[in-house]
Amino acid sequence: MSDEQAAPKNAPPVPPAGAGAAVPPTPQPTPPPLQSAPVAPHEPAGLSMAPGGALGEIPDAAKLGTHATNFRFPDHFLWGAATSAHQVEGDNTNNDWWAWEQAGKVAQPSGRAVDHFHRFREDFDLAQAVEHNAHRFSLEWSRIEPIEGEFSEEAIQHYRAVLMALRERHMEPVVTIFHYTLPHWLAAKGGWEHPRIERYFARYVQRVAHEFGPAVKYWITLNEPVVQVFKGYLIGQWPPGKSEWPAALTVLRRMLRAHVRAYHLLHEARADAMVSIAQHVLALSADDPHRWSDRLSVRTRGYLFNELFVDALHHGALRVPGLFWERLPMGRTLDFIGLNYYTRDFVRNSGYDLPGLVGGIAARDHRAQVGKLNDLGWEVYPEGLATFLRRFARFKLPLMITENGVPAVDDEDRWNFIYLHLWQVARAISEGADVIGYLHWSLLDNYEWADGYKARFGLIEVDRATMKRRLRPSAWKLAHIIRRNEL
Ligand code: FCB
């Protein structure tokens, strides 16, 4: 989810006038060949020849069949898709998002979602059919601890069955502990602003670690904490609907500390656990690249939104240069870095206090160099992914793409998106980034928070009237890449 959408919702997936300089407006990747390609040299010429500059040259996908690059992904690369409980399970009536929907704050209520709660085996069969060897999903806190301090054995059994179903299909679970939704009882107490939230979170994590810890290696403690703080506490678009900088800072600090506690609990349950958060990374460019203040805002906003949280967990201190410094109980509480990447925004400075330095999102319409817009009006900007993989490589930790996807009714757009982004992943790996997996958002069409059901993110199309599933052609095309582990 782009963290602030200035472009009109539902913009049609057509390239704006003048598109093409930065990103080919209508990329047409050649589908993977059906015969198996020869084993590729590790650093294919097509990638290493990308000319210098920060971003290098954008590949002309029309000319780049998969056999043209023959890039080989690392052995044991994790390939799969991601979901989150509230977006797919259905009837999560006991959390703050459900209440938010019922209060009419969003386009549509989630209702039965896509009934994944009852159909997960069928959905995993489909994922297996298209070669996925990993799957990211989230535990729903409001099901596991529906009443304060009381854990539901039934819910725990359910997630045990989910994990078992993945194991039976040889899919590595990547488990998110908190993906935006709080149980009612906790939201009613003030949620992340409650002074004892870290303890509440730790109690939940302790139970989860005890129940599932031995069976799960990859954990995501918090999904996109900074997006949640921004949407929930700065622009008031998500629960609890506030616009207060002090509250935002309080919540941010508590989320950091909550992660640190969770990190230890998960490692107690399994020494070789790999723990991270999922960090949303949003590419940013200056509204006017010649304006110094816009460039300053790109840096400020970029640090706060894209880097601060990971930086704090790694170094053991929350640092906002010139403004704030606070030590965390300890550093090095990331075993890998999960990155969620979707799009780019243009930033315009609006002053020299903190909100001004963060700036605002500028309209895109006047731009010549803008990529194709997706169904929600977000720009398709694949090279941003390589930029972030390169930038986060400095932490010297494995990187996992925990989300990357596109709302697209036209499945050809989805395939183009996947192909162009994988090309960027390949490029970053060939430059030395230690990328261990690519999880597409999403396995299924699902409930896209404030945007409801119109956004179609799924490798699997879902007809919500009948709940019928159908694998989209893009899922089969991706399967060819996964099978050969080669682009
Ligand atoms: C991400 C969220 C995920 C989904 C996608 C489109 O920011 O983590 O739940 O909404 O955006």
Beta bridge partners of 462: 469
Asked if the model's pLDDT at residue 288 lies above 80, the reply is yes
Residue 308's H or E segment, with its range, is helix 308-315
Mean pLDDT of 439-454: 98
Q: Is 449 in the pocket of ligand 1 (CB under 6 A)?
A: yes
Answer yes or no: is pLDDT of 451 > 90: yes
Residue nearest to atom 6 of ligand 1 (CA): 1
The half-sphere exposure of 426 on its side-chain side, counting CA atoms within 13 A, is 30
Asked whether the predicted pLDDT for residue 247 surpasses 90, the reply is yes
Measured from the CA of 455, which atom of ligand 1 is nearest?
Answer: 6
CA–centroid distance, 322 to ligand 1, in Å, is: 31
Which pLDDT score is estimated for 46? 28
Helix (H) or strand (E) holding 221: strand 218-223
Rounded to whole angstroms, the Cα distance separating 111 from 88 reads: 10
- What is the position in ligand 1's atom list of the atom closest to the CA of 449? 10
Strand-pairing partners, residue 251, are: none
Contact 436, 77 (CB under 8 A): yes
How far does CA 35 lie from the centroid of its chain?
A: 33
- Reported as a single tens digit per residue, the pLDDT across 412-424 is 999 999 999 999 9
Q: Measuring from atom 5 of ligand 1, which residue has the nearest CA?
A: 1
CA distance 384 to 284: 9
Mean model confidence pLDDT for the chain: 88
The average pLDDT across 52-75 equals: 55
Domains of the chain: 45-484 (3.20.20.80)
Beta bridge partners of 284: 345
What tokens appear for 342 in the block?
């979707």
Supply 399's token pair.
Answer: 């990187």
Smallest CA separation from ligand 1 atom 7, residue: 1
Q: Is the dihedral of CA 9, 412, 179, 464 positive or negative?
A: positive
**164-194: pLDDT as tens digits:** 999 999 999 999 999 999 999 999 999 999 9
Single out the residue of 125, 209, 138 nearest to residue 165, CA to CA. 125
Average pLDDT on 146-171 reads: 98
CA distance 96 to 240: 8
Q: What distance in Å separates the CA atoms of residue 345 and residue 378, rounded to the nearest whole number?
A: 8
pLDDT of 366: 67
- pLDDT score, position 283: 97
CB neighbours of 394 closer than 8 A, spacing ≥ 6?
none
Residue pair 346/367 in contact by the 8 Å Cβ criterion? yes
Q: Is the separation of the CB atoms in 24 and 15 below 8 Å?
A: no
Say if ligand 1 is within 6 A of residue 227 CB: yes
Q: DSSP label at 175?
A: E
Phi-psi region of 35 (alpha: psi -120 to 50; beta: other; left: phi over 0): beta
Q: What is the pLDDT of residue 323?
A: 82
Contacts of 157 (CB under 8 A, 6+ apart): none
d(CA 144, CA 203) in angstroms, rounded, equals: 12
Please work out whether the CB of residue 441 comes within 6 Å of at least one atom of ligand 1. yes
**Per-residue model confidence (pLDDT) at position 212:** 98
pLDDT at 364: 81
Q: Is the CB of 280 under 6 A from ligand 1?
A: yes
pLDDT of amino acid 129: 98
**120, containing H or E segment:** helix 116-129
Q: Is the CB of 224 under 6 A from ligand 1?
A: yes
Complete DSSP assignment for 96-116: HHHHHHHTT-SSS--TTTT-H
Instruction: Assess whether the previous peptide bond of 240 is cis (omega < 30° from 0).
Output: yes
In angstroms, the Cα distances linking 39 to 62, 70, 75 are 22, 7, 13
Task: Give every CB contact of residue 90 below 8 A, 6+ residues apart in sequence.
Answer: 110, 111, 112, 113, 114, 115, 116, 117, 118
pLDDT at 69: 59
Among candidate residues 188, 174, 165, 147, the one with its CA nearest the CA of residue 78: 174
Cβ of 445 less than 6 Å from ligand 1:
no
Q: How many CB atoms lie within 10 A of CB 319?
A: 15
Q: Which of 219, 96, 205 is nearest to 151 (CA)?
A: 205
Expressed in angstroms and rounded, the spacing between residue 68 Cα and the centre of ligand 1 is 32
What helix, strand, coil percent values describe the chain, rounded to 5? 40, 20, 45
CA-405 nearest atom, ligand 1: 6
pLDDT at 321: 83
CB-facing half-sphere around the CA of 392: CA atoms within 13 A: 35
User: Which range, of 55-59, 219-223, 461-465, averages the lowest pLDDT?
Assistant: 55-59
Amino acid at position 421, single letter: H
Q: In sequence order, what are the residues at sequence separation of 6 or more whose Cβ sits closer than 8 angstroms to the Cβ of residue 476? A: 130
* Span 367-391, average pLDDT: 91
Looking at per-residue pLDDT, the higher value among 387 and 36 belongs to 387
Closest to 296 in 3D by CA, of 359, 236, 344, 235: 359
Pairing of strands 399-404, 435-441: parallel
pLDDT digits (tens, 9 = 90+) for 122-141: 999 999 999 999 999 999 99
Nearest CA to ligand 1 atom 11: 1
* pLDDT value at 119 more than 60: yes
Using an 8 Å Cβ cutoff, are 70 and 38 in contact?
yes
The C-alpha atoms of residue 296 and residue 359 are separated, in whole angstroms, by 9
CA separation for the pair 317, 298 (Å, rounded): 22
Between the CA of 306 and the centroid of ligand 1 the distance, in Å, is 15
Question: Is there an atom of ligand 1 within 6 Å of 403 CB?
Answer: yes
Residue nearest (by alpha carbon) to ligand 1 atom 3: 1
Residue from 110, 220, 224 whose mutation best tests the ligand 1 pocket (most atoms within 8 A of CB): 224
Whether residue 349 contacts residue 297, with contact meaning beta carbons closer than 8 Å, is answered with: yes
Q: What is the pTM of this model?
A: 0.88
- pLDDT, one tens digit per residue, over 35-62 is 232 222 222 222 222 222 233 344 444 4
pLDDT computed for residue 135 by the predictor: 99
Identify whether the C-beta of residue 421 lies closer than 8 Å to the C-beta of residue 385.
yes
- pLDDT band at 355, cuts 50/70/90? confident
CB of 1 within 6 A of ligand 1: the answer is yes
Comparing 263 with 324, the larger pLDDT belongs to: 263
User: How far is residue 117's CA from residue 135's CA, in Å, rounded to a whole number?
Assistant: 15
Q: What CA–CA distance (Å, rounded) separates 141 from 156?
A: 10
Q: Provide the pLDDT for residue 81.
A: 99
Task: Output the pLDDT for position 322.
Answer: 82
Q: Which ligand 1 atom lies nearest to the CA of residue 407?
A: 6
Residue to probe by mutation, ligand 1, list 440, 449, 453, most atoms within 8 Å of CB: 449
